[in-house]
Structure formats: C-alpha cells, structure tokens
Amino acid sequence: MFKVLVADEIKNLVEPAQLTDLDITWLAADEPTPKGDWVALVPLLSRWVGGTELKNLPNLRIVANVAVGYNNVDVVAAELRGVIVTNTPGVLTEATADLAWALILATARRLVEGADLVRSGKWTGWHPEQLLGLELCGRTLGLFGAGRIGQAVGRRAPAFGLRILYSARSPKPEFENETGAARVDTSRLLAESDIVSLHVPSSPETKGIINRETLARMKRGAILINTSRGDLIREEALALALEQGHLGGAGLDVYAEEPTIHPRLLAAPRTVLLPHIGSATEETRRKMAAIAIENVQAVLNGKPPLTPVYGQV
Ligand code: NAP
C-alpha cells in the first residue's frame, strides 16, 4: 500500500475503484500539510507546496495538483528534489470557456444590476434608457493568452459577431484559420479590444500585468474579464478604473488573495464577481479528480505521469 495525502474535498468526486493500493490520508483544506513518509500529495490549488512542505515529506514522489494552473506549487524546488508535479489540463477547458462567456454576457448586459433591481421591488417598468449595455456584434474581443481555454473562448466568439485579436508567445495558425483571429502585441490588444479576456497562467512575467498603466491603455468603456488567476490584476487599480468610469465593467472569477476580495473592488461599480467556479461542473470536477489520481497511480507504479507540468511553462 502506498501512503498518499489527498485533499478531503475531492473525496466524493473520485471513483473508489481508482484508489486500489492507496493508503489515503484525507487532508482538509484548512489543515496544514503534515510531516511524514507519504509518497504522493494531491492538493487543491489553495494549498501552497513549497520548499518547507517538500522537505517535510522526504519520501514524496509526486504532487498531483487538482487544477490546470500550478502556481501553488514551487515547481523548481520540486524538480530539485526529484518530485514530479502534474496538473489537469484539457478536461476543464470547455467548462471554463463557458464561464468566461457567462461573465462576458453578464458584464456587457449588466445582468447582476438587472437581477438586483427586479428582486429589490424597485423596478418601475420598461424604460428606453434603463441598464444600457455593450452590444457585442461588431465589437472586438481581445484574448490575452490563447492556449486551450483562450482558444475555446475565441471559438465561441464568431457566433456573437465579434472580431478576435489575441496575444500569445507563439502564433496559432489553426485557430486563426478557424476563427479569423489575428495575433497582435499586448499594446494593440489593449488599445483595440472592447472586451479583454485573460487566459495566461500566473507566472513572474504575467503577475500584475493588468495595472494602472495597462488599464489606462484600454479603450474607454471596455470590459475586463478574468477567469485565469487573480494576481494577474492589480485590484486597487482596477477598482479605480471602474470608479472613474474608464472601464465599462469587470467580470471576475478569481482574485489575488482568495477568498478575500479587495474592499475597493467589492464596492466598485459595474462588476460581476464570482467565487472561482470556472471549472465547476459535475463532469469536469470528476475528470479533474480522476486525472490527479491516475497520475499518482502511474508514478507510484513506475510509469510516466500522464500530465506532467514540466515543459508546459
Ligand atoms: P495554456 O493552454 O497553457 O494556455 C496559456 C496561454 O498563455 C498560452 O497561449 C501561452 O502562450 C500564453 N502565455 C503564457 N505566458 C505568456 C506570456 N508571458 N505572455 C503572453 N502569453 C503567455 O493554459 P489553459 O489551460 O488555457 O489555462 C490558462 C489558465 O487558466 C491556467 O493557468 C489557470 O490558471 C486558469 N484556469 C482557471 C480556472 C478557473 O476556475 N477560473 C479554470 C481553469 C484554468 P503559448 O501558447 O504561445 O505558449
């Protein structure tokens, strides 16, 4: 039996048949990572796995993150200790792209304000200038990052009559052929897009990429969507851009210090704020749990991991 530490929160999502030969210690998100002789760790993205945690688990062979993003793991420290790190790419692409669209539509058409008005009992009836939003047809969608999720968001855009711009490190000719998207540098993306949607991972190069200066380069009235990672955005600067009316809205699923949200952002106008539910469909969450455990089983049984993160950065 292999001694394995697994996030307690995925207990109901894993198939019992997958757990053969595993002696599991279920670890709740609020419990610290223990010291001991466990050989595998399956953490949620809320658990930091750095040098100290790796040192405290000297027999560890794999960290199987239950997320596609792996900015909660010090991959360099893991590699130095010979610990394999895996993530769950692919299976959450469509669910997260759907949620990005839910945010685009909700922000552009002011759904939360409308729903609040109806519930408040203060709605006095149809008015020609009530809750006017942004019409999507003929506008430009700017994808900052066009990997799996960015492209899936882009593939849904032609149906809404949107032109697509994207920024990524490498060109995506198939995506361009399929959608008519054009690759541009970040400056052009910010200056020309009516909706900017973030799909780059959190990394030292991308942290804080949306800040006072880059927000100022966005079109007046443009909308910012973030389903990637919260620390891409300087939240106070975003709040200010919304307060001043420079931005037309922000639809966010992720925050820099989850679950805390910057108080000024919480109070800012024209926001749609969701509690990090990009991949939250029954099917996707089960697939994420399954891949994480398959990676553990592969590595502990001497096989290569299915989805190692090395080479993905
Ligand atoms: P991916 O396939 O690896 O795509 C990442 C994209 O970012 C690629 O196009 C990559 O360019 C680009 N990129 C990376 N660094 C860049 C930089 N410095 N400048 C410009 N472009 C850069 O990842 P994915 O599967 O689409 O996932 C994206 C992120 O979404 C994840 O990292 C995760 O944090 C987040 N996510 C959030 C949720 C949620 O619940 N809200 C769910 C799933 C994922 P190249 O293609 O040229 O390499």
Tell me, what amino acid is at 159?
A
102-117 pLDDT per residue, tens:
999 999 999 999 999 9
Give 76-98 pLDDT, tens digit per residue. Answer: 999 999 999 999 999 999 999 99
Is residue 15 part of the annotated active site? The answer reads no
Q: DSSP secondary-structure letter at 34?
A: P
Between CA 208 and CA 222 the distance in angstroms is 19
- Atom 20 of ligand 1, nearest CA residue: 168
Q: Distance between the two ends of the chain, CA-based, in angstroms? A: 33
Nearest CA to ligand 1 atom 3: 147
Nearest CA to ligand 1 atom 33: 69
Catalytic position from the list 47, 199, 229, 234: 229
Name the amino acid, one letter, at 186: T
Q: What's the one-letter identity of residue 236?
A: E
* Ligand 1 close to Cβ of residue 65 (< 6 A): no
Nearest atom in ligand 1 to the alpha carbon of residue 206 is 18
- Share of the chain residues as helix, strand and coil, in percent rounded to the nearest 5: 35, 20, 45
Cα gap 104→195, rounded to integer Å: 8
- Name the token pair of 253: 């699923």
Residue bearing the CA closest to ligand 1, atom 46: 147
pLDDT value of residue 310: 79
**Residue 178 known to be catalytic:** no
Of the candidates 148, 234, 262, 276, the residue annotated as catalytic is 276
The token pair at 216 is 């100022």
pLDDT at 205 (0 to 100): 96
Among 169, 176, 210, 214, residue to substitute to test ligand 1 (most atoms within 8 Å of Cβ): 169
- What local confidence, expressed as pLDDT, does residue 311 receive? 55
CA 171 to ligand 1: nearest atom: 47
Radius of gyration of the chain (CA): 21
- pLDDT recorded at residue 313: 42
Residues of the chain under the 50 pLDDT cut: 313
